[in-house]
Amino acid sequence: MSESMHILIIGGGIGGLAAAIALQQLGLAVTVFERTPELHEVGAGLSLWPNAVKALDKLGLGEPLRAMGVPNGSAGIRAWDGTPLVQLSASTLEQTFGAPTIVVHRADLQTLLRAALAPDVLRLGWECTGFVQDAEGVTAQFADGQSVRGDLLIGADGIRSAMRTQLFGEQPLRYAGYTAWRGVAHFAHDQLLLGETWGRGTRFGIAPLNQERVYWFATRNAPAGSAAAPDGHKAELLRRFRGRHDPIPAVIAATEATAILHNDIYDLQPLKRWGQGRVTLLGDAAHAMTPNLGQGACQALEDAVALAAGLHAGSSGDAGLRAYEARRINRANAIVRQSWRVGRIAQLEHPLAVGLRNFAFKHMPSNMSMRQFTWLLGHEV
């Protein structure tokens, strides 16, 4: 691998920024092209599990990341009346897997990653529409008619990736069968009951953020594209979750109505390949997954570290990309499949099926539930 190599990254999300940092550490020239003209403070909370924290440690960002976190006690999964089904201790997870679990606001993580970039690496307002590659390099083409030449191109442009479409044609997204709301509220942490509450075709999750903020999400089974309630998302959620155990109604009430995000949930059926020649994919562009394991951003961070390792070991740029893909594709695809399965179980709606699910989870031995996490959270890329 030549240190004079120039790598183009399409997409300035978590995965694209992390990849740029990892490649900088190898002494490579890198440019990130983000289509939006500004990086706004959008999004809500992200769970960074031990596998992701270890990846950020390798990027030299573990210490400032830990400073963002807040102490977590016990969390887990509950029935709608608050009855515990699965209990998880943050300290046990950290002792078992060698790193803490940290919940951060997406904007805070994005700010941390941007600050680690060299000057002029990130270019905003550059919408990449395609690429042309040959034996000597690859040229990225942009909506305004400009083009930029590089040695390699990384498509980190999200679930509706234009780079993926050019490589492999249209890949239909798969609707999970449920829609989700997310929000951040200012709420006293000592009043929280952390974790997820599972009902009949609905869920509600709560996690603490710094600055006395709380991240929450809610789901319900619904056809894709269902219209929002006429009186808005907040009013609908207050009706739908009225009477649920504390502090669910209070957390919804404490959230600004205009700050509630709503999205139908999709994933990408696992791909057999991520790249061709001098081009590869990373993050959601390669393996968009449902959020049921909290691994979307975590897997993008693993990708970034593995990409740098593949290029460092590769005798040529395209060989390095293939090494990265070989290291990552089976694990990422397995997590896509497992996250889908967990979502199907969590969103069960028939009363009998829900009762059987809750009974099975409540009576699962604790060592068995911990083993379910080992392959996922114990991994160090």
Residue range 254-273: mean pLDDT, rounded: 96
Neighbouring residues of 192: CB distance < 8 A, sequence distance ≥ 6: 206, 208, 214, 247
Locate the domains of the chain by residue range.
6-173+267-377
Interhelix angle 50-58/366-377, rounded to 10 degrees, is: 30
Give the confidence band of 41 by pLDDT, cuts at 50, 70, 90: low
Residue with tokens 């590869």: 280
> CB of 377 within 8 A of CB of 97?
yes
pLDDT(206) > 80: yes
Give the confidence band of 2 by pLDDT, cuts at 50, 70, 90: low
pLDDT(132) > 70: yes
pLDDT computed for residue 370 by the predictor = 77
pLDDT computed for residue 89 by the predictor = 85
Residue range 57-61: mean pLDDT, rounded: 97
Residue range 140-165: mean pLDDT, rounded: 98
Phi and psi angles of residue 109, each rounded to the nearest 5 degrees, phi first:
-65, -40
Give the confidence band of 1 by pLDDT, cuts at 50, 70, 90: low
Neighbouring residues of 77: CB distance < 8 A, sequence distance ≥ 6: 84, 85, 86, 195, 196, 197, 198, 361
pLDDT computed for residue 117 by the predictor = 96
Residue 165: enclosing H or E segment and its boundaries? helix 162-168
pLDDT(72) > 80: no
Lowest mean pLDDT among 68-82, 163-177, 247-261: 68-82
pLDDT(368) > 80: no
pLDDT computed for residue 3 by the predictor = 66
Residue range 29-58: mean pLDDT, rounded: 91
Neighbouring residues of 365: CB distance < 8 A, sequence distance ≥ 6: none
Residue range 362-380: mean pLDDT, rounded: 85
135-149 pLDDT, tens digit per residue, is 999 999 999 999 999
Instruction: Tell me which DSSP letter residue 263 carries.
Output: E
331-367 pLDDT, tens digit per residue, is 999 999 999 999 999 999 999 999 999 999 999 887 7
**Which of 73 and 181 is assigned the larger pLDDT?**
181
Residue range 216-239: mean pLDDT, rounded: 96
Average pLDDT of the chain to the nearest whole number: 94
Residue with tokens 């995965």: 15
According to CATH, the superfamily of the domain at 6-173+267-377 is FAD/NAD(P)-binding domain (3.50.50.60)
pLDDT computed for residue 280 by the predictor = 98
pLDDT computed for residue 276 by the predictor = 97
Residue 139: enclosing H or E segment and its boundaries? strand 138-142
Residue range 260-284: mean pLDDT, rounded: 97
pLDDT(113) > 90: yes
Q: How many CB atoms lie within 10 A of CB 120?
A: 7
Burial track 300-329 (b if 16+ CB lie within 10 A, e otherwise): bbbbbbbbbbbbbebeebbebbbbbbebbb
Query: Rounded to whole angstroms, how far apart are CA atoms 374 and 243?
Result: 36
Phi and psi angles of residue 89, each rounded to the nearest 5 degrees, phi first:
-100, 125
Percent of the chain scoring above 90 in pLDDT: 83
pLDDT(313) > 90: no
pLDDT(44) > 90: no
